Amino acid sequence: MVSVKSLKKILFIAGLMFVLPLSVYSQSEPKAESRKYSNEFLKIGVGARAFGMGHAMTAVSDDVHSGYWNPAGLVGGSLRPEISLMYSSYFANIATYNYGGFTLPLDSAGNKRFGVSVIRLGVDNIPNTLDLVSNGNIDFNKVKAFSTSDFATLLSYAWRPAGFQKLSIGTNFKIIYRGVGRFGNAWGFGLDVAAKYKTNRFAAGLMIMDATQTYNMWTFNTETFGDAFINTGNVIPENSVEITRPTIRLGVAYEVIKTNTIGLLIAVDNDVYLDGKRSSALISAGIASFDPKAGLELSYKSKSSGKPVAFLRGGFYNLQNTVNGEGESVTGLFPTAGLGFVIKNFQVDYALANIGNFQQNLYSHVVSLKFIVPSRDGGKQ
């Protein structure tokens, strides 16, 4: 079990990783720019349970996935270490989106918990045709493949303040790496803060993503593409700092049915983006855009243990203004559905989620696996 003293050392080192690159990078005085949709890959979500429930997880999540949805929820579930893996593919397997998470308690009472989450969104085997034509001749041997990848590592810590058993607090320190082959890459650093309040049936959650603003420091290897960009009239990018503005997640959840065998949970979330008016936002006010979502989960509980062992889920997200195939302005949403089951210390979840546009039925199959490390006596606790 990791001690609190060791955790403080880890967070101190992480803090140095945040401060030192900024101080060194600032010496070159790159331009800094706040960009809408910055680090958007961190808005996709993790865990098939969340996809099945329309991403309405801020007040619901209470396991290893809380490192992403609401780190304060890490202290709300099992007292054992947990491991989770997720795989999904987009656009006919052109892009892959993968996640791995781990969490463990820092005390025997479960009031303090640490977690690590790793996320990757990537497109591999992209042909580089910049050197396809040389001296007027086509040479396919000069076509090389490259990958574009977005990575994020979240270091999470959550705790219950003494005397407040219904309240938990959490934080994420995030490290981001984004690369486009040999052409350019960026390192980013930021901080999330969160809180969760939970009673027997009701829960409320709050998370401020990028509370400190997240800074991506881009460096471009212009020698790998500069001549081709000049010849084709493209602007050569300059080293810069990309700033990600905060996003506020708000969520409530209520278990409307809670018996010895059946449970029905309803959740509603709203993401408030503070990076300006988003083009398809259903509601915008000044610099804020609102993204509501909702989901429900029907669970069946084991008669012997009283714990949920099977799930049916549904929900929606991306409630927004859009234009249909006839050019008419309409309000649309992306429906989601999913299911899950528990076998001993394993939980397998599946979701079918629409990640395309409203003119095409582009659905992604999302599968995730969670493992709760058993205690020495074989129980899950």
Asked whether residue 378 is assigned to any structural domain, the reply reads no
Asked whether residue 18 is assigned to any structural domain, the reply reads yes
Q: What is the mean pLDDT of residues 125-129?
A: 82
Asked whether residue 272 is assigned to any structural domain, the reply reads yes
Other CB atoms within 10 A of residue 124 CB: 12
- pLDDT score for 278: 76
Q: What angle do CA 19, 25, 28 make, to 5 degrees?
A: 150
- pLDDT score for 235: 75
What is the domain range of residue 52? 4-372
Q: Which helix (H) or strand (E) holds 176?
A: strand 167-180
Beta-bridge mates of residue 88: 97, 366
Asked whether residue 381 is assigned to any structural domain, the reply reads no
Close Cβ partners of 369 (under 8 Å, ≥ 6 residues apart): 84, 85, 86, 346, 347, 348, 349
Q: What is the DSSP string of 55-117?
A: T--TTT--STTHHHH-GGGGGGS-SS-EEEEEEEEETTTTEEEEEEEEEEESSTTSSEEEEEE
Euclidean distance between CA atoms 353 and 292, whole angstroms? 16
pLDDT band at 65 (very low <50, low <70, confident <90, very high): very high
Main-chain dihedrals φ then ψ at residue 23, nearest 5 degrees = -70, -40
| Predicted confidence (pLDDT) per residue in 48-58, tens digit | 999 999 999 99
Determine the length of the chain: 381
SS3 51: helix
Percent of the chain with pLDDT over 90: 48
Q: What is the mean pLDDT of residues 77-106?
A: 87
Residue 173 has pLDDT above 80, yes or no: yes
Asked whether residue 367 is assigned to any structural domain, the reply reads yes
3-state DSSP percent of the chain in helix, strand and coil, to 5: 15, 55, 30
| Predicted confidence (pLDDT) per residue in 279-336, tens digit | 777 777 778 888 899 999 999 999 888 889 999 999 998 887 776 667 777 777 788 9
pLDDT band at 355 (very low <50, low <70, confident <90, very high): low
| Predicted confidence (pLDDT) per residue in 267-285, tens digit | 999 999 988 777 777 777 7
Averaged pLDDT score across all residues of the chain: 83
Asked whether residue 200 is assigned to any structural domain, the reply reads yes
CATH code, 160: 2.40.160.40
- pLDDT score for 39: 87
Asked whether residue 380 is assigned to any structural domain, the reply reads no
Lowest mean pLDDT among 16-20, 40-44, 155-159, 377-381: 16-20
Residue 39 near residue 215, CB atoms below 8 Å: no
How many domains would you assign to the chain?
1
Asked whether residue 222 is assigned to any structural domain, the reply reads yes
Euclidean distance between CA atoms 317 and 355, whole angstroms? 10
Biggest alpha carbon–alpha carbon distance for the chain: 76
Q: What is the mean pLDDT of residues 32-48?
A: 83
